[in-house]
Amino acid sequence: MSELLQRVLRTDTAGAGRVVKAARLVRREVNISSGGWVPALWPQLREALVDGALGITGLLAATGPIEQARGRVGAADRARADAELAGYARGWGVSETEVDGDADTEGDADGLEAGPAATPEDLRVLAQRIVMFLDPDGAEPAEEIAMRGRGVILGRVKNGLIPIRGDLLPETAGQLQRIWDAYLNPRVDGPPVPGVQFVPSEERDAQGVQDREDRDGGVLPSGDPRGQVDPRTRAQKQHDAFTAMLGIAARHDDMPTLGGAAPTLIVSVTAEDYATGHGWAHVDGIDTPTTIAAARHTACGGTIQRVLFDPEGRIVGIGNTDRIFTTHQRRAITLRDTECLIPGCHVPASWCEIHHVQEHSRGGPTHTDNGVALCWHHHRTLDTSGWEIRMDNGVPTVRGPAWWDPTRRWRTPRPAFTADRRSARTT
């Protein structure tokens, strides 16, 4: 049957499977004793399907939640749900009166104002609410099924990427979604209006801004994230946010330890490859090579440990290079920068990584005068994105790519913040 449907309907195996499943829900059997037709399991939805008011996807969405609770929903309740869902699919809304199981669909529409037809998602939500009303005790078995089915696993490498798949409990998915929303949510004050803007300001604040304009050669172009070109898709942004979340969790004091130490990401690379920028690095625990860029990114805010091997593989020397910003240094940089240093990116500094402006491998110190807050994405892509950072007497300045600032001038990222701090010190 599946192969026949694939050839006739020009569909794939999954599409043919949906057709077969839908047919089983609305087919009419022949009564062996009388020879007459037995009503379909979902007669009203069957009529909506035949009339073209409902598609196969909508039928499966409407019946799925109730079919899952089939043993706990009686025939009368199923009949009413059938009529309610069929009417909703036709755009009649949800009736507030009792619906007869064998009532005609034309009669169900009396007194109901026709509206837009329901989408499959609308039908699924209504069916779920019906099940919650008809089967209030069904949450317990559903909980048991969910607890058994939950899980997340990492797949095998493909095209340099590790697939992740699994099933999350609703509260876990909800928490993850909320964190994503908080991380990715742009400011809500609207895009900036082109041209000069005047805002109330005390004289000393205005003088502070003027001093910086004289030094920096002008204020920043628009820093609003919606005015900035960000080529990432939402899925890519969520990936980067998830990476930052893992980094925050790994640094947390309550995180369990591995071998007495925090669960630290380990990226190994030969000294020659690291110095030249060519070759491959390896992530501990993941059986696939990664790029030197990943090694440089990891090393920027971490510790380099040099391990020397003899030709037979024996360890003959170990050396550490401490390059991690201390808690006090990180707190000070977070207070100064407040957000990711790149204009238009409003990831809080507490979520960011601390970047060595002058690379540690080239003599850059692990000092607040050489550290800035960058979100994971801008830290990882700093070498290729066109953004440049330098320190001006301990104050970070940025030079953006040409698409952001055609003049490519060095600018102080957040003059307003500095003005506020300067004013606070003078009061």
186 lies in some domain = no
Given a cut of 70, whether residue 317 has pLDDT beyond it is no
Q: What is the pLDDT of residues 83-115, one digit of tens each?
A: 989 988 888 865 544 444 444 444 444 545 556
Q: What is the pLDDT of residues 211-220, one digit of tens each?
A: 444 444 444 4
Task: Assign 371 a pLDDT band (cuts: 50, 70, 90).
Answer: very high
**pLDDT mean over 177-196:** 53
Task: Assign 302 a pLDDT band (cuts: 50, 70, 90).
Answer: low
Domain that holds residue 73: 2-140
Given a cut of 50, whether residue 231 has pLDDT beyond it is yes
pLDDT at 417: 45
Given a cut of 90, whether residue 348 has pLDDT beyond it is no
pLDDT at 285: 67
Q: Are residues 419 and 293 in the same domain?
A: yes
Write the CB contacts of 355 (distance below 8 Å, at least 6 apart in sequence).
300, 301, 371, 372, 373, 374, 379, 382, 389
Give alpha helix (H) positions in 71-190: 75-89, 105-108, 120-134, 139-149, 170-184
Q: Are residues 247 and 119 in the same domain?
A: no
pLDDT at 280: 74
Write the CB contacts of 19 (distance below 8 Å, at least 6 apart in sequence).
5, 9, 11, 56
Q: In the structure encoding, which two tokens stand for residue 2, read together?
A: 């599946």
50 lies in some domain = yes
pLDDT at 223: 43
Task: Assign 17 a pLDDT band (cuts: 50, 70, 90).
Answer: confident
46 lies in some domain = yes
Higher-pLDDT residue of 303, 269? 269
163 lies in some domain = no
Q: Are residues 131 and 245 in the same domain?
A: no
Given a cut of 80, whether residue 389 has pLDDT beyond it is yes
Contact present, 350 and 338 (Cβ < 8 Å): no
Mean predicted lDDT score pLDDT of the chain: 73
Number of domains in the chain: 2
Give alpha helix (H) positions in 185-311: 203-216, 234-251, 271-276, 292-300
**pLDDT mean over 185-206:** 42
Given a cut of 90, whether residue 388 has pLDDT beyond it is yes
Highest mean pLDDT, choosing among 154-163, 181-190, 192-201, 251-260: 154-163
**What is the percent of the chain with per-residue pLDDT over 90, rounded to a whole number?**
7
pLDDT at 15: 84
pLDDT at 237: 81
Answer with the one of 86, 111, 140 that is the final residue of a domain: 140
192 lies in some domain = no
167 lies in some domain = no
Nearest to 410 by CA among 345, 363, 343: 343
Given a cut of 60, whether residue 402 has pLDDT beyond it is yes
Nearest to 277 by CA among 357, 356, 353, 361: 361
Task: Assign 413 a pLDDT band (cuts: 50, 70, 90).
Answer: confident
Phi-psi group of 153: left, alpha or beta (phi > 0 → left; psi -120 to 50 → alpha; rest → beta): beta
Residue 164 pairs in a beta bridge with 154
Give the lowest-confidence range in 40-44, 166-170, 281-285: 281-285
227 lies in some domain = no
Higher-pLDDT residue of 58, 191? 58
Give the lowest-confidence range in 198-202, 243-247, 273-277, 298-302: 198-202
Q: What is the pLDDT of residues 40-72, one digit of tens each?
A: 888 999 998 888 888 999 899 999 888 887 777
Highest mean pLDDT, choosing among 242-251, 268-277, 365-374: 365-374
**What is the percent of the chain with per-residue pLDDT over 70, rounded to a whole number?**
66
**pLDDT mean over 369-389:** 89
What DSSP line would sit under 10-56, residue for residue?
A: T--HHHHHHHHHHHHHH--PBPTTT-PBPPPSSHHHHHHHHHTSS-H
Give the lowest-confidence range in 33-47, 187-201, 327-341: 187-201
Q: Are residues 417 and 268 in the same domain?
A: yes
Give the lowest-confidence range in 8-17, 27-36, 300-309, 357-366: 300-309
pLDDT at 390: 94
226 lies in some domain = no
Q: What is the pLDDT of residues 237-253, one digit of tens each?
A: 888 888 777 777 766 77
Answer with the one of 110, 140, 170 that is the final residue of a domain: 140
Given a cut of 80, whether residue 423 has pLDDT beyond it is no
Q: Are residues 273 and 398 in the same domain?
A: yes
Answer with the one of 140, 173, 190 that is the final residue of a domain: 140
Q: Are residues 381 and 242 in the same domain?
A: yes
Contact present, 5 and 17 (Cβ < 8 Å): no
Compute the distance between CA of residue 270 and CA of residue 406 in angstroms, rounded to an integer. Answer: 39
For residue 103, the tally of other CB atoms under 10 A from its CB is 14
pLDDT at 193: 35
Give the lowest-confidence range in 29-33, 67-71, 185-189: 185-189
Contact present, 323 and 366 (Cβ < 8 Å): yes
